[in-house]
Amino acid sequence: MMDVDARLKLVRRNVVEVLTDEELQDLLLTKRKPVAYHGTAPTGPYHIGYLIPIAKLFDFTRAGIKCKVLIADIHAALDDLKTPWEKIA
């Protein structure tokens, strides 16, 4: 596994804001396998914009962070009744 500085660099890469660097560093030092979560409710067809968070999840994985992903397709269908089912499915 890479050192904490290399892990921090990967986690911070291409992000606008990190709540606190100290908290992030402490998390990477103390947690054996931290967990990141990404959830999305796709209300339309998938497009290239979905690759942005996926690329970040790859960085997290390389930094030794376990990633969980929720694709809330049914939630999107129920939440956005303006979108026809054909566009969601």
CATH superfamily of 4-88: HUPs (3.40.50.620)
Find all residues with CB under 8 Å of 38, minimum gap 6, and list them.
53, 56, 57, 67, 68, 69, 70
Cα–Cα dist 18/59, whole Å: 15
pLDDT of residue 2: 84
Give the pTM.
0.73
Over the chain (89 residues), the average pLDDT of each successive run of 10 is 87 86 87 88 82 92 93 77 65
